[in-house]
Amino acid sequence: MNRHPVRVPSRDALNYFEPYERLPPGHENQLTRALLVVLKLSPMAHASWLRRVDPSLALAELPSATLTTQSRAIRSGGDQAGDPEGPRVLSVFLGPEVAQTDGVVRESDRGQVLDAILDYDGELVVVVENKIAEADHWQSLRINLGTQKARLDTAQFPVSWRDVLEDFMRLLERDLVSGAERSVLEDFMDYVERHFGGLGPSRTLALCRGNRYRQERRLRTLLTEVTGAETQVRRSTTLWSSLPFVELSGAVVKYAYLHMAEEDAVGLILFPAETLGQARALYTDHAAVERLLALRERGWRLEPNFHFGYMQRGFAWVPTELGLEDYVALWLREIGSSGSVPKEAWPQYLAWLRTEGVMAERYQETFDRAFTHTDRESATPRPGLRLTRTWAIADAERLDTERRLVIEVRAAIEEALQALGEPSVAVGATG
């Protein structure tokens, strides 16, 4: 019986789903690979990067590119039909800042490992030396062409990581990418900000220059630095469009949020007693309630945050006419008898809330939309609170530039958790 050998394709280092060596995420080779994945999957990012290399180059006018990382040879497939003198070869030095050099690129017989190679089907080859710290650029001035026919450009092409990341950020800010292309680019920017925070255009609040999108991204990174936990983002139609948060481990409050407040300030927000279970844990601890109220004398703002819950979700947030002390006193008294309210008891319970001043009659429609006009069979009161600490943007920018905003936000979170009798945040290395 004839047996035909099965062709096993070689591993593609730029396959998004393939593991790449055993390097830590903060290694510059991982950054090179991540950039090439972006260039492979995002034509808009590729075009903007190529213009940084040489403004005369247009991606749409070039053949499709083959992208390779960590290769000794400038080309993998040998000579192809085309220019008998071989492709034009450009040497790029990619560093934190644009390298000021009058060096001349020359052919060399040195043993090399090229960080990245972009081969535009034998018409143009771009080789890249990537450095994430200040370093000698001599490797990009000495290129071993091997046996390949090629026209080595003697000019070095310096490219700044800061410019590249600025371009990518603008693509996102201006909604010039969408769908999977946008997702890949956002993942890349998240990765850079987490592991190479000194490179990007959002590395401090001051460098964000008032751009809300960049400020929110910086706060996401900062919150991870504060807690050592992975920052998530909650999309909200009732509060803010983007709300970075980390999960906490206590019984009274589950999340800490850090966002750009409407009054042009950085706001730290915690929601004690957000669920009925959390409310029971808080309002049965009178000492914790007293400590929480006392935070108002230390720069915190504390407000009622009453709403209802069904299953895991919250609904029908309504302002209360009660003052804070009266609101807290009510739930200190009533929390033991509070529970899920069945549908047939809603009119009686809502009447009681109106009598107590918790929910004015004008908010009946809010409740009806969330419960009465739905198939939900119960509604659970959630007598929550909103605890807020803010920093004016000028102060936050100054503190962040001085690397002290992380310290202040962490201290504020710890202060709130201590008042509530909750465990400290788990601070760890963020890479």
Per-residue pLDDT reduced to its tens digit, 139-159: 888 888 887 888 888 888 899
Question: Is residue 283 a part of any domain in this protein?
Answer: yes
Tokens of 58: 């247009």
Q: Are residues 38 and 135 in the same domain?
A: yes
List the Cα angle 384/390/395 in 5-degree steps: 170
96: domain range? 28-166
Task: Name the one residue in this structure whose structure tokens are 């790449």.
Answer: 20
The answer to whether 107 and 28 are in contact (CB under 8 A) is: no
- CA-to-CA distance for 243 and 237, rounded, in angstroms? 11
Backbone φ, ψ for residue 138 (5° rounding): -60, -30
- CA-to-CA distance for 151 and 145, rounded, in angstroms? 9
Instruction: Tell me, yes or no, if the pTM score tops 0.75.
Output: no
* Domain stop point among 166, 199, 230: 166
Question: Is residue 62 a part of any domain in this protein?
Answer: yes
List the Cα angle 417/418/423 in 5-degree steps: 65
Question: Is residue 372 a part of any domain in this protein?
Answer: yes
Q: Are strands 301-310 and 124-130 parallel, antiparallel or unpaired?
A: unpaired
Question: Is residue 40 a part of any domain in this protein?
Answer: yes
Question: Is residue 157 a part of any domain in this protein?
Answer: yes
Q: Are residues 406 and 268 in the same domain?
A: yes
* Domain stop point among 166, 190, 207: 166
- CA-to-CA distance for 7 and 379, rounded, in angstroms? 61
Q: Are residues 156 and 267 in the same domain?
A: no
Question: Is residue 116 a part of any domain in this protein?
Answer: yes
Q: Are residues 263 and 123 in the same domain?
A: no
Question: Is residue 186 a part of any domain in this protein?
Answer: no
3-state secondary structure of 28: helix
CA distances from 121 to 81, 82, 118 (A): 10, 9, 9
Q: Where does 54-140 have alpha helices with state H?
A: none
* Domain stop point among 151, 166, 181: 166
Q: Are residues 139 and 267 in the same domain?
A: no
Q: On the CB side of 197, how many CA atoms lie within 13 Å of its CA?
A: 17
Q: Are residues 40 and 162 in the same domain?
A: yes
Q: What is the structure's pLDDT at 216? A: 87
Question: Is residue 80 a part of any domain in this protein?
Answer: yes
Q: Are residues 270 and 130 in the same domain?
A: no
Q: Which of 411, 409, 353, 347 lies closest to 381 in space, CA to CA?
A: 353
Q: Are strands 124-130 and 106-107 parallel, antiparallel or unpaired?
A: unpaired
Into how many domains does the chain fold? 2
Q: Which residues contact 216 (CB under 8 A, 6 or more apart)?
A: 242, 244, 259, 260
Q: Are residues 157 and 270 in the same domain?
A: no
Tokens of 74: 């400038």
Q: What is the structure's pLDDT at 236? A: 53
Q: Are residues 142 and 272 in the same domain?
A: no
CA distances from 7 to 10, 15, 68, 78 (A): 9, 18, 21, 21
Q: What is the structure's pLDDT at 299? A: 95
Cβ atoms within 10 Å, residue 106: 11
Which residues on neighbouring strands pair with residue 390, listed in sequence order? 267
CA 266 to chain centre: 17
Per-residue pLDDT of the chain (431 residues; tens, 9 = 90+): 455 444 444 556 776 656 677 788 888 899 999 999 999 999 999 999 999 999 999 999 999 999 999 988 887 655 554 556 789 999 899 988 766 666 788 888 888 888 899 999 989 999 999 988 766 677 888 888 887 888 888 888 899 998 999 899 899 989 999 999 999 999 898 888 878 877 877 788 998 888 888 888 899 889 988 988 888 887 654 444 568 899 998 999 999 999 998 778 999 999 999 999 999 999 999 999 999 999 999 999 999 999 999 998 999 999 999 999 999 999 999 999 999 999 999 999 999 999 999 999 999 999 999 999 999 999 999 999 999 999 999 999 999 999 999 999 999 999 999 999 999 986 543 33
Q: Are residues 138 and 257 in the same domain?
A: no
Q: Are residues 264 and 394 in the same domain?
A: yes
